Amino acid sequence: MKKYVFALLLAASLSVNSTEQINDVFIVDGVEYEIEVMPFGASPLEKLYGFDEILAMLQLEGWCSANWRGYKGTWEVIDNQLYLTELVKGACSRNPPSVDPELFFGEKEYPVKATWLSDSISIRLTEREPIRCDEQDSSQGVIGFEHQAMVYEFSSGELIHKFEHKVEDIWEEPALECEAID
């Protein structure tokens, strides 16, 4: 019976689909990276406005599953200061319209200095690798994932520190099961 239930669950999980999200862009030293907005992070814009406020201001006319937030920001570090250099809505289209910076920031044009951001932006440098309870290379015993990241810390939009960091996302329940095995 257990084998039957396991096979049924495995078959069901293989049929589950999700859409990869369009991420914000982060440019530092002329190199483009992605700010992973789902499920591990958020756009720096969400430190200024709540999600519902952003949606209300954008007045979206439909959406696509790859851009449920309805927008995409391009952020760049220029002279150790973070700027929003572009904000578009409906990022799924080939030529998405630019959002008027007056609407969000009271500025006439981009780039806009991100003085509201006193937080960090973490950029994944390596692929996510599974963390396991055991040494075997199987999907069983996976308790989370890890990767290397570069972390950029900002205070009022000014870059104050950057460092490389090992990020571990460990799920509580499987980790407790691992401890029971030890």
Per-residue model confidence (pLDDT) at position 13: 41
Whole-angstrom Cα distance, residue 168 to residue 153? 19
Instruction: With residue 78 as reference, give the H or E element that holds it.
Output: strand 71-78
**Does residue 6 lie in a domain region?**
no
**Does residue 7 lie in a domain region?**
no
Is the preceding omega at residue 111 within 30 degrees of 0, hence cis? Answer: yes
Total domains in the fold of the chain: 1
pLDDT at residue 182 above 60? no
Could you read off the pLDDT of 150-168 as tens digits, one per residue?
999 999 999 999 999 998 8
**Does residue 4 lie in a domain region?**
no
Of the listed ranges 66-80, 98-112, 129-143, the one predicted with least confidence: 129-143
Per-residue model confidence (pLDDT) at position 113: 97
Of the listed ranges 39-48, 83-92, 102-111, 173-182, the one predicted with least confidence: 173-182
**Does residue 49 lie in a domain region?**
yes
**Does residue 74 lie in a domain region?**
yes
Whole-angstrom Cα distance, residue 142 to residue 159? 36
Q: Domain of 154?
A: 20-181
Nearest residue to 159 via CA among 117, 124, 126: 117
Whole-angstrom Cα distance, residue 21 to residue 25? 12
Question: Structure pTM?
Answer: 0.76
Q: Do residues 156 and 115 make contact, with C-beta atoms less than 8 angstroms apart?
A: yes
pLDDT at residue 40 above 50? yes
Could you read off the pLDDT of 121-132 as tens digits, one per residue?
999 899 888 888
**Does residue 15 lie in a domain region?**
no
pLDDT at residue 74 above 50? yes
Could you read off the pLDDT of 11-26 as tens digits, one per residue?
444 344 567 778 889 9
Q: CA 172 from chain center: how many Å?
A: 21
